[in-house]
Chains A and B, each alone.
Chain A
Amino acid sequence: AKNGIIVLKRPLGTSSDSNSDSDEEEDSMSEGEMARLMEEVEEKKKLIATIRNKPWRMKRRLVLLREAQQFVDKFEGALGKGKGRKWYAYKVMMTKKWIKFQRDFENFRTACIPWERKIKEVESHFGSSVASYFIFLRWMYGMNLVLFGLTFGLVVMPEVLMGLPYGSIPRKTVPRAEQDTAQDYSVLMDFNGYCKYSVLFYGYYNNQRTIGLLKFRLPLAYLMVGLGTFGYSLMLVIRTMAKNADVGGGDGDEGEFTFAWKMFTSWDYLIGNAETADNKYASITTSFKESIVDEQENQKDENIHLRRFLRVLANFLITCSLGGSGYLIYFVVKRSQEFANRDDLSWYEKNELELIMSLLGLVCPPLFETIAELEDYHPRIALKWQLGRIFALFLGNLYTFLFALFDEVNTKLEEEGSIKNASIWAMKEYYANFSLPVNDSDATPPPMDPGDVILGPCWETAVGIEFVKLTVSDIQVTYLTILIGDFARAVIVRFLNYCWCWDLEAGFPSYGEFDISGNVLGLVFNQGMIWMGAFYAPGLVGINVLRLLSSMYYQCWAVMATNVPHERVFKASKSNNFYMGLLLLVLFLSLLPVVYTIMSLPPSFDCGPFSGKEKMFDVIMETIDLDLPAFMGTLFSYAANPGLIIPAVLLMVLAIYYLNSTSEAYQNANMELKKKMQMVSKRICGVPSDEDFNQEEPKKQHRQHQPGDEGPGGPAAQSLPGPARPAGAWLVSSRASCRCGTPETGTDQPPALSLWSEQRNPRSLKENRPRPEAEPPGRVLTCRKT
């Protein structure tokens, strides 16, 4: 169905013969009359323009419209403003078209947001906290998509299209020794063979300064894209944090009208499908339950000292376990370094490091959760603590991994020196041996077959391979865990229930709940791995995009099919800033190793886009020297002077301090204005303009003052809020009488509720003001006690 829009148009029947009358009238009108007439015409025009906003019945509107239009037509001719009508109609038509265009564009944009319906379905059944994980996943997907586009478009495609093909130079060819097994599935799964010598990894890229017709500077592009990945991610995370801080910003505590809004604005009038309607009912019920939980938390009333003691105890226990796991990891890493020197290792010793780390990852989170029950926090806050603790645990894993990786890199760097010599020697040998059989000394020997050249160890590709293997094994572990931990469990509980002694569904295993903290942290750390590895393996971002895409569908299915909602459904905090904060931290942590290697480690001599240079960022220097005009070079050298950089940093610190203090000042001003607004709105509480709304019914006086018998309000509360009484006192007394006098809200109310509500209500601020009236404060206090 389309909308009904009412546009005024001149009704037929008013003809131009009215103008002839007006001619005569014009002569007889004086200045004052003209002015008055103009005013009336303006008024009628305004009425015509706003007639659709009036809540009158259609008939009345039509009648009034005709009258007003006739009036305007009759006298407009007299005032010579005949053209206005057509222009007005044209303007209205353009406005309509513009609004339609905007609506279509908004619809298109909303339709382009993927998985909206899926997430809404999950939200309606599991609540907003579980849905927030999926929203976070979707956001990550968007970011990775952009990064993938950048890498693919600026690094991979140029090398594929304009660079040398596979097999032409040694770095792009599988060495002869490995060529037999290069296509085997097992070799490919280890990312050796053809995978290793492909665009996936750093080693494939050639170090030619410009390639192809377009003179595309690939090494420069590679470095810029690598750094740009971090820059873009940083900007995006911070922008999202800022946007979230804008929207309410609070932790579910904003808005004075939580329940009222939920009741009156939660139903979506667009729903026409029975299933969607069911989902919506479920989601509204869940949302009310969430708010009720919040409300009840606020009313809890307990022994503070016991709680504090338990919390301290819990934190102590958890710190102990974190310390213990840190030491365990350190110990195991030391042992694995010893093992690396030996050859006769059992399976356990070979995989000890990975086993211990996985065990820790599996055992510690549930342990933390159990200990956290001592603390008895609101579920949302408990979730945050849990996230923080598991984060600390995973940092240990990260630290181990990096440690091991750096060891490997250093070994390879040492190896490089010797292999370089060996390679050059082999080359010389080849040419020496070759020239002998040929008699013609002018002939140039053909270049050595690329498969035969001895390649250096190429530490960057090795690092890339490590990261890719880690990501892939992470994917496998996650999917298997969901399959076994959730799906198999659900199947067993469902079907074994028929022949089991106790009720499996209600009792021990039952169905799993969706583990929000584990999944969120998995996502965050996975992204950290991607950021670290993307510089050494450009294809890693593509793999991640695929992973996130399939993860979304897989996890949505798993959640709907195998999980049950949490027992205490709680509202996620409106801003997603906690997750973003974690992500930011991980971003910085992953930035550091990459920047360190770019700045200080020398690139391999025969693989990658920076081969042959002293340091990777020499590419930039080269570009500045060769490609940019001379003055830019001097400009950059000035800019890089420490004497300029240190004052710039100082200036930025000062700017941050200044902006911080202004924002605090604005926040304070905001609070003051809010309080004022509330005071004013409560003062004006009987808005008189109900004429339009209530045309048939008798006008009711909305300034309801309590009838005299309504309790201890007394004579002082009876009169209108005249200037003689301070408004605050009137409000207080009316509130008091409302609480004590009205029978419905009387004694059956639990005392805690009114106590809490009195405290939270800003009106209570007025209770402290000295009042000249005969209302002793005791009256209000007695109300509270009931």
Chain B
Amino acid sequence: MGNKQTIFTDEQLDAYQVNSFCRLHGRYHELAPHLVPMDYTNEPDCKIPLALIVNMPELKENPFRDRIVESFSEDGMGNLSFNEFVDMFSVLSEMAPRELKAIYAFKIYDFNVDNYLCKEDLEKTLNKLTKEELTPEEVELVCEKTIEEADLDGDSKLSYADFENMITRAPDFLRYLVFVETDASKPCLCMHLSIFIILQYFTLLCTKNKIICSTLLLTNAFLICKIF
């Protein structure tokens, strides 16, 4: 992660006291070590191209990765400076408020960047989401229905007001536009194993039969191997 002092001045660090700031910089640097200088004290002006950023693990599997990076870049081509990089992580974290996420979501889904979600934008979104598995009639039907549901001013495309009105009522929205990872499910497997052992003790009490006990012992061993 490097020594804070050599990358940023105290003033810079103080200005945006970002949590795990160094880690973010570390990741930014990793994406293009030859482009990104280690020393940020002079606020260098370097940008990482789109092609390198979409290889990040958080973005790799996302169907909208290109649009995400483009909407955070100032030039609209997807080249992110470090400020914009931090911005992206900041908006896509759980600390960001709903309105901010809604604004950026609108930008992401607006493929032709005309501040409206017209039918072509919706079709592109849908095709990306379903990997083009739906028939053209189904795509048509879904886009029609979407515009009909959300369009308030009757221009058969969604302005930001329409979009915001619709998205703020969605129950799942906040949960989904987030970049944080969750841990694996070891605790529940351990819990199951302990339940299983209790039940075995129980069976031992009741039957005193060797065959049954040895079968259970074998199953035990199998489960432990599977978990660990």
Q: Write the residues of chain A forming the contact surface with B, with a CB cutoff of 8 angstroms.
A: 1-13, 52-55, 57-59, 62, 65-66, 96, 99, 103, 107-108, 110-117, 145, 152, 156, 160, 183, 185, 188, 194-195, 198-200, 256-261, 263-274, 276-277, 281, 284-285, 288-289, 291-292, 295, 539, 542, 545-546, 549, 681-682, 685-687, 690, 693-694, 697, 700, 702-704, 706, 731, 734-735, 737-738, 742, 744-745, 749, 753, 757, 761
Contact = CB atoms under 8 A, between A and B. Distances in A.
B54 to A, nearest CB: 13
B150 A265 contact: no
B189 to A, nearest CB: 8
A544 B168 CA distance: 44
Given A12-B11, A53-B99, A6 B16 contact: yes
25 contacts: A3-B90, A5-B90, A7-B17, A9-B15, A52-B100, A53-B100, A57-B87, A96-B19, A107-B183, A116-B185, A117-B185, A199-B206, A256-B149, A264-B173, A269-B179, A272-B57, A288-B138, A682-B152, A686-B153, A690-B161, A704-B153, A706-B155, A734-B154, A753-B141, A757-B148
Nearest to A156: B202
B187 A112 contact: yes
A686 B151 CA distance: 11
A2 B130 CA distance: 29
A62 B16 contact: yes
Contacts of B17: 6-9
Given A3-B89, A9-B17, A260 B152 contact: no
Given A58-B84, A194-B206, A281 B142 contact: no
Contacts of B173: 264-265
B112 interface: no
A10 B11 CA distance: 9
Interface in B96-115: 96-97, 99-100, 103-105, 109, 115
The 5 closest A-B pairs by CB, nearest first: A3-B93, A58-B83, A2-B20, A4-B90, A198-B206
B16 A257 contact: no
**Which of B18, B19, B125, B202 counts the most A-chain CB atoms under 10 A from its CB?**
B202
B122 A263 contact: yes
A276 B182 CA distance: 14
B167 A195 contact: no
Contacts of B167: 264-265
B169 A257 contact: yes
Contacts of A183: 208-209
Given A266-B172, A549-B195, 13 more contacts: A4-B21, A55-B103, A62-B15, A156-B202, A185-B209, A261-B172, A264-B173, A265-B170, A272-B57, A281-B130, A288-B126, A289-B138, A686-B161
Nearest to B18: A4
B58 A285 contact: no
Contacts of A261: 166, 170, 172
A739 B95 CA distance: 42
Nearest to A197: B206
Chain A CB within 10 Å — which of B95, B154, B159 has the most?
B154
B187 A111 contact: yes
B99 to A, nearest CB: 7
A66 B14 CA distance: 11
Contacts of B18: 4-7
B156 A263 contact: no
B119 interface: yes
A3 B84 contact: no
Most chain B CB inside 10 Å of its own CB: which residue of A5, A256, A734: A5
B165 interface: yes
A99 B95 contact: yes
A744 B62 contact: no
A82 to B, nearest CB: 18
A549 B192 contact: yes
B64 interface: yes
A96 B95 CA distance: 9
A273 B60 CA distance: 9
B73 to A, nearest CB: 10
A733 to B, nearest CB: 10
A564 B185 CA distance: 28
B121 to A, nearest CB: 10
B3 interface: no
A114 B90 contact: no
B129 A11 contact: no
Residue among B104, B141, B191, B206 with most chain A CB within 10 A: B206
A757 B151 CA distance: 13
Contacts of B177: 269
Contacts of A274: 61
Given A114-B192, A681-B152, A4 B86 contact: yes
